Amino acid sequence: MTATAPIGLSDLRSFLHGLPGVDKVGVEARAAALGTRSVKTSSKAKAIDLAIRMVDLTTLEGADTPGKVRALCAKGRRPDPADPSCPPVAAICVYPAMVPVAAAALAGSGVHLASVATAFPSGQAPLEVKLADTRAAVAAGADEVDMVISRGAFLAGDYAKVFDEIVAVKEACGGAHLKVILETGELATYDNVRRASWLAMLAGADFIKTSTGKVAVNATLPITLVMLEAVRDFRERYGRQIGVKPAGGIKNTKDAIKYLVLINETVGDDWLSPDWFRFGASSLLNDLLMQRTKLTTGHYAGPDYFTLD
Amino acid sequence: MFEYAPAPESRSVVSLDSSYGLFIDGAFDPAREGGTFKTVNPASEEVLAEVASAGPEDVDRAVAAARRAFGQWSALPGSERAKYLFRIARIIQERSRELAVLESLDNGKPIRESRDVDLPLVAAHFFYYAGWADKLAYAGFGPDPRPIGVAGQVIPWNFPLLMLAWKIAPALATGNTVVLKPAETTPLSALFFADVCRQAELPPGVVNIVTGAGDTGAYLVAHPDVDKVAFTGSTEVGREIARTVAGTGKRLSLELGGKAANIVFDDAPIDQAVEGIVNGIFFNQGHVCCAGSRLLVQESVAQELLESLKRRMSTLRLGDPLDKNTDIGAINSAAQLARITELTEIGGQEGAERWSPACELPDRGFWFAPTIFTGVTQAHRIAREEIFGPVLSVLTFRTPAEAIEKANNTPYGLSAGVWTEKGSQILAVADKLRAGVVWANTFNKFDPASPFGGYKESGYGREGGRHGLEAYLA
What is the tens place of the pLDDT at every residue in B114-149? 999 999 999 999 999 999 999 999 999 999 999 999
Distance CA A236, CA A233 (A): 5
If you measure CA to CA, which chain B residue comes closest to A35? Answer: B325
Q: Is B268 on the interface with A (CB under 8 A)?
A: yes
Residue A309 lies in a domain: no
Question: For residue A7, what pLDDT is reported?
Answer: 61
Chain-centre distance for alpha carbon B434: 21
Total number of domains in chain A? 1
Residue A269 lies in a domain: yes
pTM of the full structure: 0.95
The pLDDT value given to residue A8: 67
**A5 has pLDDT over 90:** no
Record: contact A26-B272, CB cut-off 8 A: yes
**Arch. (CATH architecture) of B261-440:** 3-Layer(aba) Sandwich (3.40)
Q: Quick one: B241 exposed, middle or buried, by C-beta within 10 A (0-12, 13-18, 19+)?
A: buried
CATH number given to B11-256+456-470: 3.40.605.10
Q: Is residue A3 over pLDDT 70?
A: no
The mean per-residue pLDDT over the stretch B356-360 comes to: 95
Nearest CA in chain A to B301: A20
pLDDT digits (tens, 9 = 90+) for A131-163: 999 999 999 999 999 999 999 999 999 999 999
d(CA B340, CA B338): 6
Query: Cβ of A27 under 8 Å from any chain B Cβ?
Result: yes
Contact A289, A86 (CB under 8 A): yes
Select from B267, B272, B418 the residue whose CB has the most chain A CBs within 10 Å, as the one to mutate to test that interface: B272
Contact A21 B116 (CB under 8 A): no
Q: Which residues in chain A are contacts of B269 at CB distance < 8 A?
A: 20-23, 26
- The 10s digit of each residue's pLDDT in A45-74 is 999 999 999 999 999 999 999 999 999 999
Among B194, B219, B226, B206, which residue's Cα sits nearest to residue B95?
B194
Chain A hits for B421, CB-CB cut-off 8 Å, are: 21, 23
Q: pLDDT confidence of A1, banded at 50, 70, 90?
A: very low
Task: Kindly report the nearest CA distance between residue A130 and chain B, in angstroms.
Answer: 36
Whichever domain contains A140, its CATH number is 3.20.20.70
Residue A60 located in a structural domain? yes
Contacts 24+ apart (CB under 8 A), A76-83: A76/A106, A76/A109, A76/A111, A77/A106, A77/A109, A77/A111, A79/A52, A79/A285, A79/A289, A80/A289, A80/A292, A80/A293, A80/A306, A81/A307, A82/A305, A83/A292, A83/A293, A83/A296
pLDDT tens per residue, range A84-134: 999 999 999 999 999 999 999 999 999 999 999 999 999 999 999 999 999
Which pLDDT tens digit goes with each residue over B16-31? 999 999 999 999 999 9
Which residue in chain A is spatially nearest to B421 when comparing CA positions?
Answer: A21
Minimum-distance CB partner of A27 among B3, B5, B272: B272
Q: How far apart are CA B147 and CA B70, in angstroms?
A: 9
A265 shares contact with chain B (CB less than 8 Å) = yes
Q: Which of B2, B265, B279, B283 is the best residue to mutate to test the A interface, defined by the most A CB atoms within 10 Å of its own CB? A: B2
A8 interfaces chain B, CB cutoff of 8 Å? no
* pLDDT value of residue B33: 86
Pair A178, A147: CB distance under 8 Å: yes
Closest CA of chain B from A228, distance in Å: 11
Whether B457 sits among the annotated catalytic residues: the reply is no
Task: Quote the domain boundaries for residue A248.
Answer: 9-297
Q: Is residue A45 part of a domain?
A: yes
| Closest chain A residue to B5, measured at CA | A43
Output the pLDDT for position B90.
98
Mean pLDDT to the nearest integer, B234-242: 97
User: A198-224 pLDDT, tens per residue?
Assistant: 999 999 999 999 999 999 999 999 999
Task: Using the predicted structure, report yes or no on whether residue A10 has a pLDDT greater than 90.
Answer: no
Q: Which residue of A has its CA nearest to B113?
A: A33
A52 within domain boundaries: yes
Of B393, B166, B361, B379, residue with least CA distance to B280: B393
Question: Is residue A9 pLDDT above 70, yes or no?
Answer: no
Distance (Å, whole) CA A225 – CA A247: 14
Where does CATH 3.40.309.10 sit in chain B? 261-440
| pLDDT on residue B2 | 84
Average pLDDT, rounded, for chain B: 97
Give residue-wise pLDDT tens across range B77-118.
Answer: 999 999 999 999 999 999 999 999 999 999 999 999 999 999
Residue A2 has pLDDT above 80, yes or no: no
Q: How far is A291 from chain B (nearest CA, A)?
A: 17
**What is the distance, to the nearest Å, from the Cα of residue A78 to the centroid of all Cα atoms in its chain?**
21
Of B270, B272, B325, the CB nearest to A37: B325
Mutation target vs B (from A19, A23, A48, A277; most B CBs, 10 A cutoff): A23
In a domain, A282, yes or no: yes
CB contact under 8 A, A30 and B275: yes
**Cα torsion at B84, B90, B92, B96 (round to 10°)?**
180
Put simply, whether B272 touches A (Cβ < 8 Å) is: yes
Question: Which ipTM was obtained for this model?
Answer: 0.93
Per-residue pLDDT tens over the stretch B366-394: 999 999 999 999 999 999 999 999 999 99
Chain A CB contacts of B112 under 8 Å are 36
CA distance B311 to chain A (A): 9
Contacts of A26 in chain B (CB under 8 A): 269, 271-272, 275-276, 441-442
Decide if A241 is inside a domain.
yes
SS3 assignment for chain A: CCCCCCCCHHHHHHHHHCCCCCCHHHHHHHHHHHCCCCCCHHHHHHHHHHHHHHEEEECCCCCCCHHHHHHHHHHHHCCCCCCCCCCCCCEEEECHHHHHHHHHHHCCCCCEEEECCCCCCCCCCCHHHHHHHHHHHHHCCCCEEEEECCHHHHHCCCHHHHHHHHHHHHHHHCCCEEEEECCHHHHCCHHHHHHHHHHHHHCCCCEEECCCCCCCCCCCHHHHHHHHHHHHHHHHHHCCCCEEECECCCCCHHHHHHHHHHHHHHCCHHHCCCCCECEEECCHHHHHHHHHHHHHHCCCCCHHHCCCC
Alpha carbons B193 and A59: distance in angstroms, whole number? 56
Tell whether A48 lies on the interface with B, counting CB pairs under 8 A. Answer: no
CB B91 within 8 A of CB B199: yes
